[in-house]
Structure 1
Amino acid sequence: MTNDLHDGLLAIDTHVDIPWPEGPSPFEDGPRCVDLPKLRRGRVGAVCFAAYIPQGHRDGMAHLAAAERARAMLAAIAEMAPKDGSGGMMATSAAGVEAAFAAGKPAVIPAIENGYAIGRSLALLDEFAGLGIRYMTLTHNGHNEIADAAIPLPSLNDVEQEYSGLSDFGQSVVERMNELGVLIDVSHASKNTMMQAAQRSRTPVVATHSCMRALCDHKRNLDDEQLEMLASTGGLAQITIVSSFLRPKARASDLTVDDIVDHVDYAVKRMGIDHVGIGTDFDGGGGVRGFMNAAEAPNLTAALARRGYGRLEIEKIWGGNFLRLMRKAEEAAG
């Protein structure tokens, strides 16, 4: 029965990192948690591959370097979907994800993690949208020109809060992302940033890789007030599988897929089934016993089934909810 639940399921993992500088080939079954062979074995239909830009100094040269890194990483992501059809299929729309699934190919969805990539330039945001990004994480660790992060970086002389949420530029970024049909990712953002972004955005926002603060008191996790805001505005909390976000001071070897489902259960009870999904953060620290790479995705489906989730509910958690948000962002663009 469990295998039947995963068979034919359009599973979307909303946050996976890529090795950088470029690492092992995504076309070979190698040391990466997510490569094309593992996606096929795990029957994962689509992945948001994130161009992760670490927070650095906020000056002209550093911003130029961040933008160049973003361009190079997005090019590497695009190479996972070569035109000869030997890899995945590039998917820059909900319809594109569904077309890849119908063709039996993994959908490659580009994204940027950390708005530091655009510095102070809306023109760069336009450029990256033109390269296909479907979401941008407003911050990573450390404040940037857009907003306050959940975790300031003393090494960059961050104060606890620089803007008390979004900066003036950040408000313009939210508006432009809406116009471009690019989803706003509030993972890593401070609570004020997240709440303001959800209120200001014309389309629902998404936390692509976060957990529940009630179960694990970490600054990166979402508290009940944030969950209520996401639910009331139509947004999503995509449960991640990083051990330190699942349980305090835990290691991957301490945890199993049941720990992931604990967070799914809590989010569903607080927000409803339409507001919860999965974003593993594989190749960025994600992984627990039984779900250490994309090939083991059916184990999470099995755990959800054991908790009483049926086919339609699992379809929503594993990708249907995120696909709906993609479509909403596309429809509201312009």
Structure 2
Amino acid sequence: MPDSLTADEAARIHAATLSLDTHVDIPWPDTPDPAGETGRRVDFPKMRRGGMSGAIFIAYLPQGPRTAEGHAAAAARAEAMLRAIAASAAPDAARARFCRDAAALEAAHAAGLTGVLAAVENGYAMGEDLSRLALWRSLGAVYLTLTHNGHNLLADSAIPRPDLGDGPALHGGLSALGRQAIAEMNRVGLLVDVSHASRDAMLQAAEASRTPVVATHTACAALRAHPRNLDDGQLDALKAVAGLVQVTAVASFLKEAPAGHSARATVADYVDHVDHAVRRIGIEHVGLSSDFDGGGGFAGWHDASETAAVTAELHRRGYGAREIGLLWSGNFLRLMRLAAIAAR
């Protein structure tokens, strides 16, 4: 097929696809209105120009001291951020909608509206209070990332924080509280995100959860050795529980940089990781994300306005409309539905 026809077909597929970015950070506390053009990599105008149908915006909590005061401050910030994300669609209600579940996102897409979703990154904000999980779900959160950089009370992190007193491991994977938190997440309908968790914690979470777990922003260790990437054994574990790996656009996760330089990743490097995961565990267990405004972005997919470039590269490599739909949202929506069913 001539290149021009290939490009036209890719553009047609992208326009028809519900493309969901499962991990987009927001600045805090000074968060600009996403309804207008901003300096962020993701705002509503950029999403529309790039054909990004929806995004899961993140209430991110940096790891701090594992103290009552630290947990209380993180919990207050998480709640405030979730409320801000939910409110962000209201000023642009004619073109954007806050979505709490898969059906709402699909309805928004069918109506030509930009979908806004929310999640919490770092179980640090839970402290020892399991009731916060139900609160976050009631505010619209669709998943909780168990850890960030640094061990918390729930689980060990893939990247310990010696500045916070961390050794290589604190719990040997999940703590007893972490297992209780996963059971409560299953009960209230929150997906379990194993991004940032240590290898042991990730594997234990996959086994402990009654619903499939997801790594919402990671890449493949077989192509780039990085503590945040998943090795083939971890990918196999995701497949075994019907889970999902979402390949993310953080350049340093995709490609090793020469000494003293930043990684110069491309869309092709990104899709190399998608290809590896698909070959290893199958198209039904792989998805796409950016981590924009949290470290993601490279030449070719610098911000949400260039999202169609990912679809174009996938199509160039032989992925059809069905496969592209699964990668962009179909697989993640399946997990959202399963979490909702399990919560009933």
- Alignment-mate amino acid for residue 47 of structure 1: A
1:24 deviation in Å? Answer: 2.6
Give 1:10-159 correspondences, 5 Å limit.
Answer: 10-82=18-90, 85-86=93-94, 88-159=96-167
Q: Secondary structure at the match of 1:79?
A: helix
- Alignment-mate amino acid for residue 260 of structure 1: Y
TM normalised by structure 1 equals 0.98
Tell me, yes or no, if the aligned pair for 1:252 and 1:287 is still in contact at 8 Å: no
1:279 to 266, 272, 289: 289
Give the Cα separation in 1 of the matches to 2:211 and 2:137. Answer: 16
Give the Cα separation in 2 of the matches to 1:23 and 1:96. Answer: 25
The answer for the alignment partner of 2:274 in structure 1 is 264
Tell me, yes or no, if the aligned pair for 1:80 and 1:87 is still in contact at 8 Å: no
Question: Structure 1 residues 69-78 or 54-63, which shifts more?
Answer: 69-78
Tell me, yes or no, if the aligned pair for 2:257 and 2:263 is still in contact at 8 Å: no
1:86 deviation in Å? Answer: 4.2
- Alignment-mate amino acid for residue 160 of structure 2: P
- Alignment-mate amino acid for residue 141 of structure 1: N
1:84 deviation in Å? Answer: 6.8
Tell me, yes or no, if the aligned pair for 2:301 and 2:310 is still in contact at 8 Å: yes
TM normalised by structure 2 equals 0.95
Q: Secondary structure at the match of 2:216?
A: strand
Task: Please list the CA deviations of residues 67-112 of structure 1 after superposition, one character each: whole Å capped at 9, or x if unmatched.
Answer: 1111111121112221771452111111011111111111111100
Give the Cα separation in 2 of the matches to 1:123 and 1:323. Answer: 25
The answer for the alignment partner of 1:206 in structure 2 is 214
Percent identity for Structure 1 against Structure 2: 52
Tell me, yes or no, if the aligned pair for 1:53 and 1:117 is still in contact at 8 Å: yes
Give the Cα separation in 2 of the matches to 1:196 and 1:253. Answer: 32
- Alignment-mate amino acid for residue 112 of structure 2: G
- Alignment-mate amino acid for residue 332 of structure 2: F
Moved over 6 A (4+): 250-253
Task: Please list the CA deviations of residues 23-52 of structure 1 after superposition, one character each: whole Å capped at 9, or x if unmatched.
Answer: 332111121100011111111111110100
Does 1:166 pair with 2:174? yes
- Alignment-mate amino acid for residue 220 of structure 1: R
Give the Cα separation in 1 of the matches to 2:138 and 2:234. Answer: 31
Question: Structure 1 residues 215-224 or 120-129, which shifts more?
Answer: 120-129
Give the Cα separation in 2 of the matches to 1:175 and 1:89. Answer: 30
Q: Secondary structure at the match of 1:134?
A: strand
The answer for the alignment partner of 1:184 in structure 2 is 192
Unaligned runs of 5+ in 1: none
Give the Cα separation in 1 of the matches to 2:271 and 2:297. Answer: 13
CA RMSD of aligned residues (A): 1.3
Tell me, yes or no, if the aligned pair for 2:35 and 2:89 is still in contact at 8 Å: no
